Structure 1
């Protein structure tokens, strides 16, 4: 799409693999001479396995192919319903994927895999053999550890083993992005960049879910990867406390309030200690809600160039007047496309974007193909020469590429 007067542009497609696969299937039928090349390079670029029976059938298909034929180059692999223990659960769904099948699937794509999404039943765990198979993925850059929607039916299961987690991360030597959709707790704050005497990979992007991780958990994880960490994504499933409410405790003293809550074993959800830890190294920050900045509005990130906030419980006009926005060198501000109408436009007064002296692009995330931003926001961007960009995703590493 060409640039319009409001300097809008469509960029970024999150799911190219489905389109590529369907196109490849058709072209293989049209031109047999292309069949094997398309098979290797496009047909299986993205794959998902969620049952042992289908995984075994795929493995048999791969083993039956001649060694002279090219192997498919899968780049994005999802393995769901992983149960790596013996015996299998008593009450849960059957046909789950064991660790041996995980290892077999990984070996097929050891040279091509870029993204691996492991979805475990109940809690994450793999034996050393499967961890070693992950270590043999030469080009793996993006690892997701998630819980499957399938449950075993067992009433109790252990917490994630820190030794398993650290052995896994250390094995993935080329890893750049880590997405944690399951609870991970490090028993103590590690030395930056090291687990015991082993170096962590140079992870540049960490994605955590606050519902699953206490601030202390996030702090320890960010410390572990601090030498290389440049981008942080924090997800939350609720609006939290309005900033004005927590500011109302100022006379009482937020620190004293935290200490009192700590006596009852309750940790407030504020992330200030995490921000302090990454203050001078963070280049990109993604938050699901503006309340995740509520205790750090006086902060300055001297290297922060990308800030993505999905939902705005607080007035965007008031928020953008705080020091964390006005004094940090933010070049890209990203907001949710629907929230721009529901939450930003009703409280949009004047031109708060003018408070961001380095702002170059306003990005509307998860925008549909026929989306157009609220006129107030478009006019504000036009007035100060800021480009509006529409994307169909909310992935921070991809947004950073818009710089």
Structure 2
């Protein structure tokens, strides 16, 4: 029997550490990089040498964010000076912000940005441990072949996030993302499973499923796009590119979408005819029906920020859809759950935003609309705090049909799928 905390099994100490770094908003899935986690690891390292040896490689640098060239280089020099006999830190979540990989520097003279050589150095430091890589570029995406090859050497990379930095160069004009660069980057990341695009990617044409030219894409199972940045055609081409392996799609958007009754001509001619007419002027309506049609028989999980992103496809059936997450319900949840897309698809998990359950779902909740989903097993409340309790109406409806209520502190579709 252990006599002190130092004698506890490592698995038990891991649970204690997880409890210490939990907060009311992060009580199940701690997000990294995390200042509290790093500071806690620093303090616990002082307890004894055994803990120091365990915490340094596994927790102290588990999540790192670099946004300054000078500080990044100092960190690299520190790592290079460490004895090879000492344990190496294992960074699993690496964020590199303020990337400016081209020459010359921005016209407004923004200083201390991270160049392509420093990106390569940081990638090489953690080539054996990085699982999630978040690259945040100033103005637009671009890296030279050296960095692309370095990303290809990340043995455990599974999650790639491409974003635009909050730092701006001040230049008024900059190029769009080069499709050749984007595809070379994705092809290089051979073990990639999840791709999050926080910037516009526009492929020039619809690629052959699973291929860019003669090179195979990695087996990406989850694609996350933002509709504000991507036209439906862009999302369609991206989903086609990864279709052979794609099982989960996340679409983020702002606003309630377009109401057919509020636009002159749409109600009279119908949405499809109106879309064709607008297309003659180069204007594309934000409907995603073509995307849903493309993935109809392969999609297993779908995450939408708003219910309006399904408005043009309520008659659809996804024969393999088991997880559906909708953050906000612009329309009545009672009316919505009566449509065929819900009643005829084998949905086992329905996830909704915890606050929206009170603000949007409960006021329009009549009867028991969950009974319309014959396969439903779990109702998940996303972004719930540790003391959260769901609206009584929803709890009673779930209890009446044997549906389990689950509370999570995130809204990440791949993690929600693990609840199946």
CA distance in 1, matches of 2:404, 2:31: 21
Aligned-pair RMSD on alpha carbons? 2.6
Shift of residue 308 of structure 1? 0.3
CA distance in 1, matches of 2:209, 2:405: 38
Shift of residue 259 of structure 1? 1.2
Shift of residue 251 of structure 1? 5.3
Shift of residue 165 of structure 1? 0.1
CA distance in 2, matches of 1:263, 1:191: 26
String of CA shifts for 1:105-153, please: whole Å, max 9, x gaps: 0001111110000000000100000000000001100000000000001
Shift of residue 65 of structure 1? 0.2
Contact 2:131–2:156 (8 Å) recurs in 1: yes
Shift of residue 245 of structure 1? 5.9
**Bigger Cα displacement from structure 2, 50-59 vs 226-235:** 50-59
Provide the TM-score with structure 1 as the length reference: 0.95
CA distance in 1, matches of 2:263, 2:296: 22
Contact 2:321–2:346 (8 Å) recurs in 1: yes
Shift of residue 265 of structure 1? 1.0
Q: 1:126 aligns with which of 143, 146, 167?
A: 143
Question: 3-state DSSP class of the match of 1:132?
Answer: helix
String of CA shifts for 1:189-230, please: whole Å, max 9, x gaps: 000000000000000000000000000000000000000000
Question: 3-state DSSP class of the match of 1:9?
Answer: coil
- Unpaired runs of at least 5, structure 1: 1-5
CA 1:7/1:104 → structure 2, altered by over 3 Å: closer, same or farther? closer
Contact 2:152–2:189 (8 Å) recurs in 1: yes
Shift of residue 41 of structure 1? 1.2
Shift of residue 15 of structure 1? 5.1
Question: 3-state DSSP class of the match of 1:208?
Answer: strand
CA 1:160/1:8 → structure 2, altered by over 3 Å: closer, same or farther? closer
CA 1:107/1:10 → structure 2, altered by over 3 Å: closer, same or farther? closer
Shift of residue 241 of structure 1? 2.6
Contact 1:92–1:151 (8 Å) recurs in 2: no
Question: 3-state DSSP class of the match of 2:405?
Answer: strand
Question: 3-state DSSP class of the match of 2:380?
Answer: strand
**Bigger Cα displacement from structure 2, 240-249 vs 182-191:** 240-249
Question: 3-state DSSP class of the match of 2:74?
Answer: helix
Shift of residue 24 of structure 1? 2.1
- Unpaired runs of at least 5, structure 2: 1-22
CA 1:16/1:402 → structure 2, altered by over 3 Å: closer, same or farther? farther
CA distance in 2, matches of 1:290, 1:86: 44
Shift of residue 20 of structure 1? 4.1
CA 1:246/1:101 → structure 2, altered by over 3 Å: closer, same or farther? same
Shift of residue 33 of structure 1? 3.2
CA distance in 2, matches of 1:16, 1:59: 18
CA 1:248/1:320 → structure 2, altered by over 3 Å: closer, same or farther? farther
CA distance in 2, matches of 1:134, 1:206: 19
Residue 170 of structure 1 is matched in structure 2 by: 187
Matches within 5 A, 1:71-86: 71-86=88-103
Contact 1:48–1:79 (8 Å) recurs in 2: yes
Shift of residue 253 of structure 1? 2.4
CA 1:9/1:54 → structure 2, altered by over 3 Å: closer, same or farther? closer
Aligned residues: 398
Shift of residue 183 of structure 1? 0.5
